[in-house]
Amino acid sequence: MLRDVILVGAGAIGLLSAVILARQGVSVTVLEAGEIGRESSWAGGGIVSPLYPWRYSAPVTALAHWSQDFYPHLADELLAMTGIDPQVHVTGLYWLDLDDEAEALAWARQQGRALDSVAMAQVYRQVPVLGPGFERAIHMPGVANVRNPRLVRALRAALAALPNVQVHEHCPVRGFIQEWGRVCGVLTDSGDMRAERVVLAAGAWSGELLKTLGLALPVEPVKGQMILYKCAEDFLPSMVLAKGRYAIPRRDGHVLVGSTLEYEGFDKTPTDSALASLKASAEGLLPALADAEVVGHWAGLRPGSPAGVPFIGELVSHPGLWLNCGHFRNGLVLAPASCRLLTDLMLGNRPIIDPRPYAVDGRLA
């Protein structure tokens, strides 16, 4: 039986992996270079769907479908455990004026997912604040969004309630300990830490850490900026997406608008140019936002990876080192399935889906 694990990275992926392992009796030590959940997991929009699900490969679709079906159960479980509601908010999603609408509808038929073409007159009745000029729409009714800062808080509280978990913030990992042909721990400024297995779930920083082993993991930081408005609770009844930008309503009336896609290394400074671009998109989608207050503007770093297919599993070349990283724009969407798949493999359980497309070896740059 697996005894103990060091988990590097305390975003949603790392925290949920730790919860699952700890509830199976594994002693878990979570190490976070900064503050828990304050990187990509906190910065994202929390749509429980890839932005354009039909444009992704089968491995991403498999993880997304499992996670979408599981999210309501996860939210209920975390609420019961911690008293913190992650607010999985089912609003549906309208895509407007797509160039590949036919491909989207064909994908939905093939996958058995509810996605239909809708007359614009009906869309304007359902979303009266929508801006003028849109001509075509497709709609997926069951799409939810999760209040990602609350999800992170709930996961952190769940770990705090488990006696076999230690969490260390501001504890950056500098490298890995290798003995007898295995990875058996990590090097930190606070000293060496050892465990039977190490899980790397450090998001955009995962590739940098694997460089210390001479490995080239194709995961890179991709900056995304977002803005937040405060509106009436009934202002926006559904998520809407057009021209690559989206608006997401929260239950309390906050509306998120995002996001940019910038390849600028590890710089996550919000910029005036992005703010202006996001405001223009917001007002094109929802003109009334021109009179609403922007109450937040921030940037985060996504863990970019080829085709957005994450790396999940053990490094055959470095036994004892496991990866759960490289989810690109879909970390929150794919988290439940990714973490369950990882822990199934680590614990010797039958995996929920075929793990082979996510295997690490053979996919390194």
The CATH architecture assigned to 4-55+150-218+306-358 reads: 3-Layer(bba) Sandwich (3.50)
Q: Which CATH superfamily is domain 93-141+220-304 in?
A: D-Amino Acid Oxidase, subunit A, domain 2 (3.30.9.10)
Helix orientation angle between 331-347 and 58-82, rounded to the nearest 10 degrees:
90
Domain map (residue ranges) of the chain: 4-55+150-218+306-358, 93-141+220-304
Whether residue 67 contacts residue 334, with contact meaning beta carbons closer than 8 Å, is answered with yes
Q: Both tokens of residue 7?
A: 């988990």
Element (H, E) at 5: strand 4-8
- For 95-126, letters b (16+ CB in 10 Å) and e give bbebeebeebbebbeeeebebeeeebeebeee
The two beta strands, 197-200 and 4-8, are: parallel
Q: Report in angstroms the alpha-carbon separations of 353 from 12, 60, 336.
A: 20, 11, 12
Whether residue 281 contacts residue 260, with contact meaning beta carbons closer than 8 Å, is answered with no
Q: pLDDT 10s per residue in the chain (365 long)? A: 899 999 999 999 999 999 999 999 999 999 999 999 999 999 999 999 999 999 999 999 999 999 999 999 999 999 999 999 999 999 999 999 999 999 999 999 999 999 999 999 999 999 999 999 999 999 999 999 999 999 999 999 999 999 999 999 999 999 999 999 999 999 999 999 999 999 999 999 999 999 999 999 999 999 999 999 999 999 999 999 999 999 999 999 999 999 999 999 999 999 999 999 999 999 999 999 999 999 999 999 999 999 999 999 999 999 999 999 999 999 999 999 999 999 999 999 999 999 999 999 889 86
How deeply is 347 buried, as exposed, middle or buried, from its count of CB atoms within 10 A (0-12, 13-18, 19+)? middle
Residue type, 19: V
